[in-house]
C-alpha cells in the first residue's frame, strides 16, 4: 500500500482539495485499494472542521466528494507516509521540523512535481479556488504518474 499525505497550514483549503482530487483520480483508475490518501495541517486552528466552503463549492463543480473529511493537525506518526506533499515551502520546512525528518525524497513541495515550480497560493487569502483546483489537478496527476512509475 502506498500512503500519500498532503499538507498545508490549516488543512481546510489546499491540502483537502488535493486529497479529494487525488482520491478521485485514484478511484477512477481503480487503485483505491493500493493507494491511501490523507491530508493534515501544520497548525491546530481548524481541527475537526470540514473543508472550507470555497473548497467544497469548487470540488462540487467537478463532482468530487469531500464527504467525511475533517481537518487534523500533522502528528509525528505521519512520518510513516511514503509521500508527504506540502503545498508551499513554508509547509515543507514546518513539516520537516514537526516530523524531525530530513528525507528530501519523502517530504516534497507539491508543485515541484510539475512545470509550475512554485507554491500553491492559499485561497484563504487569495479567494481564487479555481487556481488552487487547477494546480491541485496538475500536481495530483504528476504525483500519480510518479507513483505508477515507481511501482514498475
Q: What is the set of active-site residues?
A: 8, 14, 122
Give the position of cell 515543507: 92
Residues 6+ apart with CB under 8 A from 20: 51, 55, 59, 64, 65, 66, 69
Find the largest Cα–Cα distance for the chain: 40
Count the neighbouring beta carbons within 10 Å of the beta carbon of residue 49.
15
Cα R_g (the chain), whole angstroms: 14
* Count of beta carbons in the 10 Å neighbourhood of residue 75: 10
Do residues 74 and 40 make contact, with C-beta atoms less than 8 angstroms apart?
Answer: yes
Amino acid at each position: 500500500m502506498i500512503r500519500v499525505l498532503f499538507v498545508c497550514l490549516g488543512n481546510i483549503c489546499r491540502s483537502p482539495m488535493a486529497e479529494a482530487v487525488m482520491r478521485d483520480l485514484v478511484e477512477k483508475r481503480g487503485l483505491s485499494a493500493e493507494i491511501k490518501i490523507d491530508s493534515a495541517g501544520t497548525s491546530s486552528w481548524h481541527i475537526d472542521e470540514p473543508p472550507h466552503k470555497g473548497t467544497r463549492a469548487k470540488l462540487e463543480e467537478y463532482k468530487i466528494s469531500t464527504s467525511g473529511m475533517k481537518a487534523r493537525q500533522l502528528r509525528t506518526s505521519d512520518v510513516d507516509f511514503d509521500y508527504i506533499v506540502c503545498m508551499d515551502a513554508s509547509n515543507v520546512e514546518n513539516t520537516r521540523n514537526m516530523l524531525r525528518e530530513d528525507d528530501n525524497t519523502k517530504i516534497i513541495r507539491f508543485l515541484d512535481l510539475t512545470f509550475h515550480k512554485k507554491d500553491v497560493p492559499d485561497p484563504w487569502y487569495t479567494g481564487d479556488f479555481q487556481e488552487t483546483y487547477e494546480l491541485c489537478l496538475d500536481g495530483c496527476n504528476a504525483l500519480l504518474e510518479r507513483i505508477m512509475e515507481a511501482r514498475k
